[in-house]
Structure 1
Amino acid sequence: MPPAVGLSTSSIYPAGVAETFSVAAELGYDGVEVMVLRDPDSQDIRRLRELMDRYGLPVLAIHAPTLLLTQGVWGNDPWDKVDRSTELATEVGADVVVLHPPFRWQRSYAEHFVGAIAERERLDGMRLAVENMFPWRARTRRRERVMQAYLPGWDPLEHDYASVTLDLSHTATAGLDRAQALAMADELGPRLAHVHLADGTHSYKDEHLVPGRGDQPCAEVLAMLGSQGYTGAVVVEVNTRKLTPDARRAALTASLAFAREHLAAGERERARVPVPRPAPEEG
């Protein structure tokens, strides 16, 4: 089976979870990723199950409220947010929880972050897929200022996470070129548990463009995943906030078509590679 292509609720924001399910079903997506926000639907197991049944779509992942804009969701204890997200994912049948690394001011949370994530994965059986992030950059009149906003760091290749979410808008904001972003995806290997499909340029802003409209290797990464038999989900996470309803629908339709086209190209390449036959036994 090809990888599932899902739609993130953040692609519909500020509309809610119910609208995401409706749009995903209408356009032919395979499932939904739910980002936990203040929207009650994003936190309610019964409501999510109701939407899953109504639209015939699974929840592919839960995105824990560990973003800057969700600091007040589910209280202020970051580990409680992770554990509640794991419980929610388990109850709705998702097998991945997406989370961001700690901010540098969350020192107690960050101190044993890598080990604590590994221990929770071992105990709960849930993949806690830590997302690649980026340095925060700003330009003054005289120079560019760079702030390392995350601990133990923004680059998951530098840390021993068993599960990682690759975000191709974040690789752009981090300043990675096409070759570097593709190398990150390749080097992650079996640790790559989840993909956020979006594009970007080397802007200071995290753009989340429709794939193919930036300078990241979205097509190449998808083809590589298809050729390698990747079994995780690819979730479209694009910014449509300022678009009209028709333009939003067009952007999400194009993103889904892009994902399926390039995953299929990789799968066709894999099918063409001959499987070596074992040598005949002597005698």
Structure 2
Amino acid sequence: MPVPEHHLPRIPVALSSSSVYPLGVAETFSTAEDLGYDGVEIMVTHRAETQQASVLNEHSWRFGLPVLSIHAPTLLLTQQVWGSAEDKLWKSAELARGVECGVVVAHPPFRWQGNYAVRFPELVDEIEERTGVVIAVENMYPWRAGGREAKMYLPHWNPVPFGYRHVTWDFSHAATAEDDSYENMKALGSRLRHVHLTDGWSNGFKDDHLVPGHGNQRVQEAMQLIADPEFGDGGFQGAVAVEVSTRAARNKVGERERMLAESLAFAREHLGQQG
């Protein structure tokens, strides 16, 4: 059985397993426990340990931390995981149920994914209704080449103007898109269900996933926005998951932990959770 969540703060802060890559699930839980995170987000990959509720629940009990979100294998690098694009969403929702977390993060479909891309909004609604799990569609960014934008996502890389009931907002993706996170999160209101805490520079294509405060996004203001109990309809109802790239720190002793501790301290400060 997974760890109950009733001891969590109103807005819990999770550590994404992508933040410790190429290390695995055990290291994610261990690092999160050592640094004082409230839980973890698991990105489903080709590694079997990310796909099995029994394994995740065992780690959850061992380290005393819940799984707060599942990231579906909807990245280009995980196209071979769990079969068809539709199966990826269904299996992610079932995994979320197995670890008793209520949120699955999913990227919008690629235009070349045919019928799946066309019926994606309908599929999201169906999965939510049948499983009780929220599918929070994540903002992405335009792909640019030779000064032109390639239309990769259907209907768009930004889910905000469309009818998704639940959205994940990622600051690094917003930076790459040269978008304003604060204004988009404000516009989402109660539709904002999950946040990937990171940062980036508006530089065209590079998806930086920096420690928050190290880029040019309005991260501080956005965290203070969702910390307001009057945000949306009755306050922000989701979690904040730290998703920063630490791969460059893998050969520097303690550097990964320092980056993740700084990210957590940033979240605590601007969500008003200090003291």
User: With structure 2 as the length reference, what TM-score do the two structures score?
Assistant: 0.91
* Structure 1 equivalent of residue 60 of structure 2: 52
- DSSP-derived class of the 1:6 partner: strand
Aligned equivalents of 1:33, 1:66: Cα separation in 2 = 15
Aligned equivalents of 1:103, 1:155: Cα separation in 2 = 13
User: Which has the higher mean CA deviation after the structures are superposed, 225-234 or 255-264?
Assistant: 225-234
- DSSP-derived class of the 1:158 partner: coil
How far has the Cα of 1:245 moved from its partner?
4.0
Q: Is this contact kept in 1: 2:140–2:158, CA < 8 A?
A: yes
- DSSP-derived class of the 1:133 partner: coil
- DSSP-derived class of the 2:123 partner: helix
Q: Is this contact kept in 1: 2:93–2:127, CA < 8 A?
A: no
State whether structure 2 residue 96 is matched by structure 1 residue 101: no
How far has the Cα of 1:123 moved from its partner?
2.0
Q: 1:37-78 CA distances to partner (integer Å, 9 max, x unpaired)?
A: 011110111111110000000000000000000000112x11
Structure-to-structure mapping, 1:1-283, within 5 angstroms: 1-75=9-83, 77-138=84-145, 140=146, 144-176=147-179, 180-203=180-203, 204-227=205-228, 228=231, 229-243=235-249, 244-264=252-272
- DSSP-derived class of the 2:111 partner: coil
Aligned equivalents of 2:270, 2:181: Cα separation in 1 = 17
Q: What's the C-alpha RMSD, in Å, of the aligned pairs?
A: 1.4
How far has the Cα of 1:2 moved from its partner?
2.9
- DSSP-derived class of the 2:156 partner: coil
Q: Is this contact kept in 1: 2:94–2:131, CA < 8 A?
A: no
Matched residue type, 1:235: A
Aligned equivalents of 2:138, 2:85: Cα separation in 1 = 15
Aligned equivalents of 1:242, 1:133: Cα separation in 2 = 23
Structure 1 unaligned residues grouped into runs of 5+: 269-283
Q: Looking at CA atoms only, which structure, 1 or 2, has the larger radius of gyration?
A: 1
- DSSP-derived class of the 1:25 partner: helix
How far has the Cα of 1:146 moved from its partner?
1.4
How far has the Cα of 1:125 moved from its partner?
1.2
Aligned equivalents of 2:214, 2:151: Cα separation in 1 = 27
How far has the Cα of 1:251 moved from its partner?
0.3
Aligned equivalents of 1:148, 1:210: Cα separation in 2 = 29
User: With structure 1 as the length reference, what TM-score do the two structures score?
Assistant: 0.89
TM superposition outliers: structure 1 runs of 4+ over 2 Å: none
- DSSP-derived class of the 2:69 partner: strand
- DSSP-derived class of the 1:32 partner: strand
In 2 relative to 1, CA 74–245 (structure 1 residues): closer, same or farther, beyond 3 Å?
A: farther
Aligned equivalents of 1:123, 1:45: Cα separation in 2 = 19
- DSSP-derived class of the 1:194 partner: strand
Matched residue type, 1:201: W
User: Which has the higher mean CA deviation after the structures are superposed, 224-233 or 52-61?
Assistant: 224-233
Q: 1:132-189 CA distances to partner (integer Å, 9 max, x unpaired)?
A: 0110123x4xxx121121111111122100110000111101111xxx3211000111
Matched residue type, 1:72: Q
User: Which has the higher mean CA deviation after the structures are superposed, 123-132 or 52-61?
Assistant: 123-132
- DSSP-derived class of the 2:169 partner: strand
Aligned equivalents of 1:261, 1:134: Cα separation in 2 = 28
How far has the Cα of 1:129 moved from its partner?
0.3
Aligned equivalents of 2:62, 2:158: Cα separation in 1 = 39
Q: 1:82-105 CA distances to partner (integer Å, 9 max, x unpaired)?
A: 000000000101110000011111
Matched residue pairs, number?
Answer: 259
- DSSP-derived class of the 1:57 partner: coil
Aligned equivalents of 1:208, 1:22: Cα separation in 2 = 22
- DSSP-derived class of the 2:160 partner: helix
